[in-house]
Amino acid sequence: MQGVFFLTAITSIAAVALICIFLFYNGVPAIAEIGFFDFVGGQQWAPTNQPPSYGIFCMIVGSIYVTAGAIIIGVPIGILTAVFLARFCPAPLYKIIKPATELLAGIPSIVYGFFGLMVVVPFIRDTFGGNGSSLLAASVVLGIMILPTIIGVSESAIRAVPEPYYEGSLALGATRERSVFRVMLPASKSGILAGVVLGIGRAIGETMAVILIAGNQVQIPTSLTEGVRTLTANIVLEMGYSTGLHRQALIATGVVLFVFILLITLSMQAIKSRSEKNG
Amino acid sequence: MDDKEIKEIAAINKITFAQRMREYKRKPLSLVMFILVVLAAALSVLALVFLIVYILVMGVPNLTPDLFAWEYNSDNVSCMPAIINTVVITLLTLVIAVPFGIGAAIYLSEYAKRGNKLVKVIRTMAETLSGIPSIVYGLFGMLCFVTAFSWGYSILAGAFTLAIMVLPTIMRTTEEALIAVPDSYREGSFGLGAGKLRTVVKTVLPSAMPGILAGVILAIGRIVGETAALIYTAGSTTGLVDGVMDSGRTLAIHMYMLANEGLHTNQAWGTAVVLLVLVLGINTLSSFIAKKLSSKK
């Protein structure tokens, strides 16, 4: 029986291997045919033109912008909320707020997207002009979406700091807040960093919510209210009708996204092993 | 130190409201930080409350009998076929993923030797899997199951794709549940003459069952809410699926189609309520079971 259990255990290795093989086998030839630098650095994405051009630079920048926006909005709020939950929250209130942040994690991305489309986009259209579907809308909604990740990981990182650190700081005459922000947070920074990296991974891979609210124009946005297209959106939007090299170029877009995610996972594991060594 | 002593020390550490205000007067930055912290927490909760209440208010009036008609047509845009498809694809996914997930967890916690290099690789791979975005799973499912296996857009292709996606979730929660089973159970079983397999199946697994169940329910929540992994594997055909090789849309894809077309906004709100209540209900059930388990100990 041990053999059977062993076989089931290596399915995850097999799955990662299969995903790599299928993506790279289908995507890499397209990158080779288009030319690596034309593909990654090209600013023109016009697969239906004659001759077609397949440059995904705008989408790479789009993904990075949207992720950065989500981080700018989500990380400060997330860390401060984690501080509140870990240090300042009265017990009865904790019983309400903690499950609430967990619920936020469970809401499907399509529901976030629809909410963004019906509420955030019109709000931005009326307040800041433009047509509403924009970098700003995507950043706000993604910022909310990564909140539970940041809160959860940061809170447990802050809780993992030994209590004497806090008490020692209080005994030296620091206020509660000073103790938390100058002693507890620095002591838990690698855990919090892991949470932020996890949030980056979620934001960069998010698809359905972004498609509905980001506008999806292939351009490098010059203002927050302009539309933007991410790597993920590019795949879903055009996969349905694409053929030939166009289709392969979309798979290659997935390969680029996959490589981004692998880099993020690697840095995540590096942070983890470093903190294990130190702890 | 007994309890009374600890309480007295805590009372010394506790400062009164007036003292705190005096302290804040000397150190206004601390007050600012405190206000910021409370504001951020309020904002997080408010975002959730606003989202849920808004969707309920807009959606509940649209929960008409038409929305739950058995047959889909472009007038009623019924979500009933999509709900049934979701149930079918969920069951299919679990049938594939649960045996593998539990088997892998049993290997990791019961059979593998400590410090085994392969175990480390398996954990790293499972972690990698859980970090892969669902659209990449969708692409892989399309290339592997839909195209290479020539299953076409089908419930089966969707279920296999989702099974790989939820595998790390089931593996991790099951492993945690197995590790939480006290060693005395195993020793007792060995002492009574049971073999390794018998011990695992008859003693360890049953006592870990609630934890495993919580993990499986969590996986169901992910399956029900998933869109990007399914759109190019299970497809987006309306209507009830007719066997596992048939294409059909789940509720989440139905929701995406309605939102994207923008023609049936009212029905989209109604569908959003159904989806939201379903997924939140499933997740609450999962954490309820998990909490009940931890309070028993």
Integer CA distances (angstroms), B260 to A150, A226, B174, B264, in order: 30, 20, 38, 10
Provide the number of CB pairs (under 8 Å) joining chain A to chain B.
250
**Does residue B223 belong to the interface with chain A, where contact is any CB pair within 8 Å?**
no
CA angle B78, B80, B84 (to 5 degrees): 150
In angstroms, the CA A12 to CA A19 distance is 11
User: A-chain residues within 8 Å CB-CB of B37?
Assistant: 80-81, 83-84, 88, 177
**Does residue A24 belong to the interface with chain B, where contact is any CB pair within 8 Å?**
no
Contact A208 B228 (CB under 8 A): yes
A11 closest CB neighbour out of B41, B104, B231: B104
**Does residue A107 belong to the interface with chain B, where contact is any CB pair within 8 Å?**
yes
DSSP B60: G
Most distant CA atoms of chain A, gap in Å: 74
Interface pTM (ipTM) of the complex? 0.91
In angstroms, the CA B86 to CA B83 distance is 5
In angstroms, the CA B232 to CA B153 distance is 7
Tens digit of each residue's pLDDT, chain A (279 residues): 788 999 999 999 999 999 999 999 999 999 999 999 999 998 889 988 888 899 999 999 999 999 999 999 999 999 999 999 999 888 899 988 888 888 888 899 999 999 999 999 999 999 998 888 999 999 999 999 999 999 999 999 999 999 999 989 988 988 888 999 999 999 999 889 999 999 999 999 999 999 999 989 999 999 899 999 999 999 999 998 888 899 999 999 999 999 999 999 888 888 888 777 665
Q: What tokens does B125 get?
A: 């791979």
Treating both helix axes as pointing N-terminal to C-terminal, what angle do A189-205 and A57-83 enclose, rounded to 10 degrees? 140
Q: What pLDDT shows up at residue A274?
A: 78
Q: Find out whether B174 and B101 touch, Cβ atoms under 8 Å.
A: yes
A175, A216, A251, A265: best to mutate for the B interface, most B CBs within 10 A: A175
Please state, rounded to an integer, the average pLDDT across all residues of chain B: 88
* A5 located within any domain: no
Domain that holds residue A267: 60-278
* A216 located within any domain: yes
**Residue B294, SS3?**
helix
In degrees and rounded to multiples of 5, residue A215 shows phi and psi of: 90, -35
User: Which CATH number belongs to the domain containing residue A242 in this structure?
Assistant: 1.10.3720.10
A110 closest CB neighbour out of B38, B232, B256: B256
Q: What pLDDT shows up at residue B12?
A: 57
Which residues does B167 contact at the CB level (< 8 Å), separation at least 6? A11, A12, A15, B97, B100, B101, B104, B126, B129
Judging by DSSP bridges, how do beta strands A45-46 and A53-54 pair with one another? antiparallel
- Single-letter amino acid, residue B281: G
Which residues does A165 contact at the CB level (< 8 Å), separation at least 6? A183, A184, A187
CA proximity to B273, closest of B71, B30, B67, B77: B67
**Mean per-residue pLDDT, B87-94:** 95
* Minimum distance, in Å, between the CA of residue A10 and any CA atom of chain B: 7
Q: What pLDDT shows up at residue B25?
A: 85
Contact B259 A181 (CB under 8 A): no
Q: What pLDDT shows up at residue A100?
A: 87
Taking the model in full, what pTM does it have? 0.90
Contact B34 A88 (CB under 8 A): yes
**Does residue A241 belong to the interface with chain B, where contact is any CB pair within 8 Å?**
no
**Does residue B107 belong to the interface with chain A, where contact is any CB pair within 8 Å?**
yes
**Residue B5, SS3?**
helix
* Minimum distance, in Å, between the CA of residue A26 and any CA atom of chain B: 8
In angstroms, the CA B270 to CA A88 distance is 39
**Does residue B168 belong to the interface with chain A, where contact is any CB pair within 8 Å?**
yes
In angstroms, the CA B65 to CA B24 distance is 59
User: A-chain residues within 8 Å CB-CB of B275?
Assistant: 108, 110-111
User: B-chain residues within 8 Å CB-CB of A263?
Assistant: none
**Does residue B33 belong to the interface with chain A, where contact is any CB pair within 8 Å?**
yes
CA angle A127, A130, A135 (to 5 degrees): 90
Q: What pLDDT shows up at residue B1?
A: 47
Question: B13 pLDDT exceeds 70?
Answer: no
**Does residue B39 belong to the interface with chain A, where contact is any CB pair within 8 Å?**
yes
In angstroms, the CA A127 to CA B152 distance is 46
* B135-190 pLDDT per residue, tens: 999 999 999 999 999 999 999 999 999 999 999 999 999 999 999 999 999 999 99
* Minimum distance, in Å, between the CA of residue A44 and any CA atom of chain B: 23
- Residue whose tokens read 């838990």: A188
A108 closest CB neighbour out of B13, B40, B275: B275
CB interface of A with B, residues 40-99, below 8 Å: 76-78, 80-81, 83-85, 88-89, 96-97, 99
Q: What tokens does B29 get?
A: 């930055």
Contact A261 B142 (CB under 8 A): no
B43 closest CB neighbour out of A77, A102, A113: A77
Task: Report all structural domains of chain B as residue ranges with CATH numbers, in order of start.
Answer: 3-62 (no CATH), 66-296 (1.10.3720.10)
* B19-55 pLDDT per residue, tens: 888 888 888 888 999 999 999 999 999 999 999 999 9
What DSSP line would sit under chain A, residue for residue? -HHHHHHHHTHHHHHHHHHHHHHHHHHHHHHHHH-HHHHHH---EETTSSS-EE--HHHHHHHHHHHHHHHHHHHHHHHHHHHIIIII--HHHHHHHHHHHHHHHHS-HHHHHHHIIIIIHHHHHHHH-TTS-SHHHHHHHHHHHHHHHHHHHHHHHHHTS-HHHHHHHHHTT--HHHHIIIIIHHHTHHHHHHHHHHHHHHHHH--HHHHHHSB--SS--SSTTS-B--HHHHHHHHHTT--HHHHHHHHHHHHHHHHHHHHHHHHHHHHHHHHHHH-
In angstroms, the CA A104 to CA A49 distance is 43
Q: What tokens does A1 get?
A: 């029986």
Q: Which residue of B has its CA nearest to A1?
A: B197
* A31 located within any domain: no
Q: How would you class B286 by CB atoms within 10 Å of its CB: exposed for 0-12, middle for 13-18, buried for 19 or more?
A: buried
pLDDT bin (cut points 50, 70, 90) of residue B238 is confident
User: B-chain residues within 8 Å CB-CB of A109?
Assistant: 225, 227-228
- Single-letter amino acid, residue A244: G
CA proximity to A197, closest of A259, A278, A252, A261: A261
Q: Which residue of A has its CA nearest to B259?
A: A114
Q: Find out whether A45 and A228 touch, Cβ atoms under 8 Å.
A: no
Q: Find out whether A100 and B43 touch, Cβ atoms under 8 Å.
A: no
B132's enclosing H/E stretch is none
What DSSP line would sit under A114-146, residue for residue? HHIIIIIHHHHHHHH-TTS-SHHHHHHHHHHHH
The total number of structural domains in chain A stands at 1
In angstroms, the CA B24 to CA B34 distance is 10
Question: B9 pLDDT exceeds 70?
Answer: no
**Does residue A123 belong to the interface with chain B, where contact is any CB pair within 8 Å?**
no
CA proximity to A203, closest of A65, A105, A70, A57: A70
In angstroms, the CA A107 to CA B221 distance is 9
